[in-house]
């Protein structure tokens, strides 16, 4: 699968199409739900709805050259808000962490879904 990662602000060096692995977690449909036990042995469920901003993506990138790897790291240092396009969806958010070992792993906190 291919993901688009780009800066929200215009930047010539701030856009990438990268191959992501099946290890990536792009699930973004979570409801704001809590369950509490009651004294009678039952429970109460409170459902506060859905928000894309509850999602956290883990994007795993393998098989990229060193210059692209360094350029992605530089973009993350330069720009606070990024736009990620995966599957049929587009999200804005921030990178919480980037782990660069034998593969690049990006933890992306979703701020909003742009194509909803």
| pLDDT the model gives residue 14 | 82
pLDDT single digits (tens) 8-37: 988 888 889 999 988 888 887 888 899 999
Query: Is the Cβ–Cβ distance between 20 and 86 less than 8 Å?
Result: yes
pLDDT of amino acid 29: 82
The CATH number of whichever domain residue 32 belongs to comes to: 2.40.30
CB 71 within 8 A of CB 78: no
Question: Which tokens go with 38?
Answer: 């009651």
Say how many domains are in the chain. Answer: 1
Q: What is the pLDDT of residues 44-95, one digit of tens each?
A: 999 999 888 888 999 999 888 899 999 999 999 999 999 999 888 999 999 9
Rounded to whole angstroms, how far apart are CA atoms 78 and 50?
31
Are 90 and 64 contacting, i.e. CB atoms less than 8 angstroms apart?
Answer: no
What pTM did the predictor assign? Answer: 0.83
Domain that holds residue 57: 2-113
Alpha-carbon gap, residue 8 to 15, rounded angstroms: 10
């Amino acid at each position: 699968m291919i993901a688009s990662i780009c800066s929200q602000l215009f930047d010539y060096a701030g856009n990438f199409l990268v191959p992501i692995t099946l290890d990536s977690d792009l699930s973004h449909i979570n409801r704001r739900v809590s369950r509490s036990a009651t004294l009678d042995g039952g429970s109460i469920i409170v459902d506060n709805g859905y928000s894309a901003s509850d999602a956290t993506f883990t994007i795993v990138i393998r098989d990229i050259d060193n210059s692209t790897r360094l350029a992605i790291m530089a973009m993350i240092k330069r720009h606070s808000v990024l736009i990620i396009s995966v599957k049929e969806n587009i999200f804005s958010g921030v990178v919480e962490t980037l782990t660069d070992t034998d593969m690049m792993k990006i933890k992306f906190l979703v701020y909003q879904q742009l194509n909803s």
